Amino acid sequence: MEILVFWRNIMKIKYLIVMIFVLGLGFQFFRINELNEIINTKKGYTNEEVIYSSAKNIPKGEMKHLVLISHIDSKSQKDLYDSLKEIFGYSKTLYDTKYLKDLNKGEISQYESIIIATNNYRYLKKDVYEEMKNYVDNGGNLIILTNSFFNPFNKLAGIERLKGFTEGTGLEFEKNIFPGIYETKITGDEAKNITNSLLDVDLSNDVDIIAKTSEGLPLIFERKVGKGKIIYSNSTFFGDRFINGILIQLISYGNNVFFQNIVNTKIVDIDDFPAPLPRGINKLIYPTYRIDSRKFFREVWWTDMKKLAKEENLLYTGYIIGTYNDVTESEKFDKFDENDLQDQIYFGRELLALNGEIGIHGYNHQPLGIKDELNHKHNYKDWKTEKDMAQSIIKIRETLKDLYGGLEAKVYVPPSNMLGRTGKRILRENLPSLEVLSGIYNSGAEKGVLVTDIGWDEDEPSLYNFPRFTSGFIFDNTKMMAMYQGVALYGIFHHFIHPDDILDEERGEGKNWEELKKGFTLYFEDVNDKFGFLRAQTSYEGFRETLKLDELKVHTFFKKNTIDIYFENFPGKTYHYFRVRGKKIEEVIGGKADIISSSDGNILYLLEANENKISIQLK
């Protein structure tokens, strides 16, 4: 009897062990699969169908502008005209372009403003010149974007005396043409970042200064003439892409009403994240926290970054990198370190749990491209063959799937923002889910750096360029001005950082994390204070919102106190800047408007359009 009871107890224990084992397997299966559902590893990759519509019965006689150039081309004119094409193309501003020599009397009265983008007036006809003066006197807007000693409009613009040329540095605005741009002063050591050849002038007393150099020289000014006005740029810097946001807002400021299309998005990228964490003791971390670098990033830095995202309404897009080795032969690729993979799983899933996104930075940090396509001053190694490049993308692509439940990357950021033409092709061929290349908007002429406008890539037309405007944890006025350019031009805030910026004495200027965090937080507080309307999105979401607007067409009509706007290829909702002088919005039929800034009777609104035809009632 005792033996029977003993065996029964043994069998119960066996059944219990089996049940625990089965339940454990079930729980593990549930945990792995449900975790992917809970953190939504497909976040941002579901392309909701966009239903486009177009307004009917669009009348003729819409508002448009006239751009005047010289048939005698020059690099400065070409750069300036290229900038105008970019800003007007994206803002959906209708304009005509004419050579001065082809402009005849009777052709200018239909335009809201005349924009002169040349310093060569040799072929301007006398009767056209007289008509342009009358155009301004009767209420027209003349905007001159580059200075000239022989400009026939110099006196009309308020220049009483020409004393030659002089040099000026820096930039300070005295008129509020756009939030942030107005408050930010490029002076002191930063002034050398902006240089200009200026006319040395004496101005009449009725001239208003819009902007000046750090030395106090008049850089941009305006003068009322009869019922109209002239805005005069005593500079040579328009045409530099760095200030295209200032260019569009100056033209907006120079008109009585101006309607500008924007995206309305706020994006923060973290390059090299998830990535292998640095090990050991770092002198910028240990004295404050008494922990090693790996523990710092897991327990301090990431905790602070999550808090910042919540408090400042941010969504992060991380770009995974597998290893920091410099191997460029695929047969020598090693398995990724197991501890590194565990860190990448942890950070990646935390990132996705925050409704973030993960794109690809690379198998390692070696830029994709053949020898002649890239600058080698950073000591990068050449890839042995194109096949080796392809295998590196395949390896990180498959790793991404394994770590995050089949996740496929839609966005690629090149290491050090360097990407050759061959590398683009390799990406397209070996990363079929890829839709977006994200480089930088403005940089020097370094060979191989991916500096682009927003739009389809010239080398690989199936890929879309969606650049970043600013980077880093350190902020000065030049960097702030660069950030404001993106918001002013596109309604896009797009910033990127590297986690290890804080370990680098040059990139972090020797500051510890507490100091860097304080400045970084103030940066986002400034953005949210001035542009609280910007929508927090991942990089792919921002791209999708931008893509919706590619085929949008805008037709604007102004009659008395009513502005009617007709849209073609309208995606259901759009956002715009709308500026008006001397009046204000009473009602928007088919949308809504909120004031962004107001000064001297000049009001800038954020306008949301919800129908393919809206009417703005002014008072």
Question: What are 48-101's pLDDT values in tens digits?
Answer: 789 999 999 999 999 999 999 998 878 989 999 999 999 999 999 999 999 999
| Residue from 299, 274, 308, 310 nearest 407 by CA | 274
Q: Give the closest residue to 471 by CA, choosing from 512, 447, 511, 442.
A: 442
Query: 101-115 pLDDT, tens per residue?
Result: 999 999 999 999 999
Amino acid at 436: V
Count of CB atoms within 10 A of residue 299's CB? 12
Q: Is 32 helix (H, G, I), strand (E, B) or coil?
A: helix
Rounded CA separation 483/242 (Å): 10
- Cβ-proximal residues to 288 (8 Å cutoff; 6+ apart), any chain: 512, 513, 514
Tokens of 611: 């129908």
Query: Positive or negative, the Cα torsion across 38, 399, 270, 455?
Result: negative
The domain defined by 65-255 folds into Rossmann fold (3.40.50)
Residue 417 neighbours by CB under 8 Å, 6+ apart: 439, 440, 443, 449, 450, 451
What is 289-345 written as a DSSP string? H-S-HHHHIIIIIHHHHHHHHHHHT--EEEEEE--------GGGPPPPPHHHHHHHH
Could you tell me which residues are beta bridge partners of residue 598? 603
C-alpha angle with apex 283: 280 to 288, nearest 5 degrees?
100
- Residue 352 backbone dihedrals phi, psi, to 5 degrees: -65, -35
Pairing of strands 218-225, 207-212: antiparallel
Find the angle CA(381)-CA(383)-CA(385) to the nearest 5 degrees.
Answer: 160
Sequence-distant (6+) residues with CB within 8 A of 608 are: 573, 574, 575, 576, 591, 592, 593
> How far lies 493's CA from each of 408, 422, 532, 544, in Å?
25, 30, 11, 15
Work out whether the CA dihedral 338, 343, 347, 353 comes out positive or negative.
Answer: positive
- Mapped onto helix, strand or coil, the DSSP state of residue 5 is helix
Q: What is the domain partition of the chain in residue ranges?
A: 65-255, 265-540, 549-618
Instruction: Judge if pTM exceeds 0.85.
Output: yes
Instruction: Using CB atoms within 10 Å of the CB of residue 581, give its burial: 0 to 12 exposed, 13 to 18 middle, 19+ buried.
Output: middle
Dihedrals φ, ψ of 25, to 5°?
A: -60, -45
Among 194, 197, 51, 72, residue whose Cα is nearest residue 123: 72
Query: What per-residue confidence (pLDDT) applies to 32?
Result: 38
> What is the structure's pLDDT at 39?
46
List of the chain residues with pLDDT < 70: 1-46, 376, 445
Q: Architecture of 265-540 per CATH?
A: Alpha-Beta Barrel (3.20)
Tell me how far apart the alpha carbons of residues 260 and 595 are, in angstroms, rounded to a whole number. 15
